[in-house]
Amino acid sequence: SLVSHAHSKKENLRIPHLQLDYWLVKLRISWVTPSRRLLLVLENSRLVSYEEERSMLDLLTLILERVAPLNGVSTFQYSHERNRRELVLYIVGAEQPYTFAECPYFEHYVKTALNPAYKKTSRNTSRKDSIKAFLEYRQNLISILKNLNSKISLTSDIWTSRNEHSFICVTAHWIDSNWILQKRIIGFQELEFPHTGINIAQAIENVLLIYNISQKIFSISFDNASNNRTAVQILKNNLHPILNSKLFHNKYACHIINLCVHEGLKIISPQIKKLKDCIMFIHSSGPRKQDFKSLCRQMGQKYKKFIFDVQHRWNSTYKMLQYCYEYRNVLTIFYNEKMQHNFMTNEEWDIGQILMNFLQLFYESTKLLSVRKQKQTDFSAPSFNELQFYLQTDFSNLFNEDELDKLDILAWWKTHESTYPVLSAMAHDLLTVQVSTVASESAFSVGGRILDDYRTRLKEDAVEVLVCLKD
């Protein structure tokens, strides 16, 4: 497009038409950037004299200077500072080590395929750049939270890395002016032993002081461990939350479900022991696994790797049972053929079916509490005494069952903010409360990938920079 535009503007360039036409044809054939590369191409081809090559480069410069600005085109200028800034964002986002940019293969790729002017960045420089980017990000977040007109709810949990360092994660949740639930990790700091309630409360308060949001906290979601209860009581005394702290401590609903199911499985698990043993029997041996695959093919079923039952994750028991019942006939034939004195009976399968149906309710409830839906439902109401109108409205008659299942409560309040100005302000605060550990578990997953077997010596403050900046 640049060459064509140059041809259309040749009257303004004050260059002889024939000469311009000749060079534009050559440009269409050999248009390679940057101009130094173009010169090398022409020198190697030996199709024109040296004087003509210099004239062509002069013309190319003239086109770039006179035509490109007219056409909204500009030459790319390599900036090492911009490269460092974008490189560290890639390193953080892709969870790469600081040594990534020192890799000679990466340097060769960039210089050869992208830009020969690229300068290698050392790991120390990448670390400093990540700290700088984090401080800029944090300052911007402090400004956002300062101007927030609603309350903030917190979730927090403690995680121990594979190098035996403990971290406390503090995540802030709030609803913005567009009624979108926002979430940011505002603290991922080392928590020294012992993990007493006093130490936990102090760590959380330190984070709140950094962001200057101590007076904006509505609630905190914690599990019900004794040290957490002590920490909550200290925070109540120091933060003075609204409503005499009645809504301050929110226990994780998913955690409560998890405790209930674990207690139940202690009694029921022995009844499905043979199903667990069957899965382990197949996958503990390469030949047996191959025999089972062959039997699946013979019976017209596609082999899938089974999900194993994990002691501290009860939902793995439910998923294991799902997989087992999909292969009920194949598993029964294979297991009874191999274990001739310990047959799998229909009664054991029936017990497993009952347990699977029982766990399904808890599994779907946990999944529902851990997922945020974004569907809108339209509704309108007259504007008068809003509390009276709200309390007298029978909302169950306004939606059918399908609409209720798809209802996004935040979108509903956004639509009716003008109808219920006071109640919507309350909803802004109340609906920030979290009922699951999803935010903390997600942060711990990132932390686990950052502090992998190759980076266990990474300093604790660097871990916070990487986790928070990625979030």
Residues 293-335 pLDDT 10s: 898 889 988 887 777 776 666 677 888 888 888 888 888 888 8
Mean pLDDT of 101-130: 91
Mean per-residue pLDDT of the chain: 79
Residue with tokens 């003239």: 62
Instruction: Compute the CA torsion angle 445, 185, 206, 434 (nearest 10 deg).
Output: -90
Q: How confident is the model at residue 147 (pLDDT cuts 50, 70, 90)?
A: very high
pLDDT at 23 over 70: no
| Spatial CB neighbours of 344, under 8 Å, sequence gap ≥ 6 | 274, 275, 278, 331, 332, 335, 336
Q: Say what percent of the chain tops pLDDT 70.
A: 78
pLDDT at 208 over 90: yes
259 or 33, higher pLDDT = 259
pLDDT at 35 over 60: no
**Domains of the chain (ranges plus CATH)?**
80-131 (no CATH), 149-250+436-470 (3.30.420), 251-432 (no CATH)
Q: What are the respective helix, strand and coil percentages of the chain, to the nearest 5?
A: 60, 10, 30
Q: What angle do CA 384, 387, 391 make, to 5 degrees?
A: 110
Residue with tokens 């578990």: 441
Q: Distance between CA atoms of 91 and 466, rounded to whole angstroms?
A: 9
pLDDT of residue 30: 45
Mean pLDDT of 188-193: 90
User: 43-62, pLDDT tens digit by residue?
Assistant: 444 444 556 556 666 666 65
pLDDT at 117 over 90: no
Instruction: Collapse the DSSP code of 343 into the 3-class scheme (helix H, G, I; strand E, B; otherwise coil) and give the result.
Output: coil
Nearest partner of 465 among 82, 192, 137, judged by Cα: 137
pLDDT at 25 over 60: no
User: 358-411, pLDDT tens digit by residue?
Assistant: 888 888 877 776 654 444 334 444 444 788 888 888 877 777 778 877 888 899
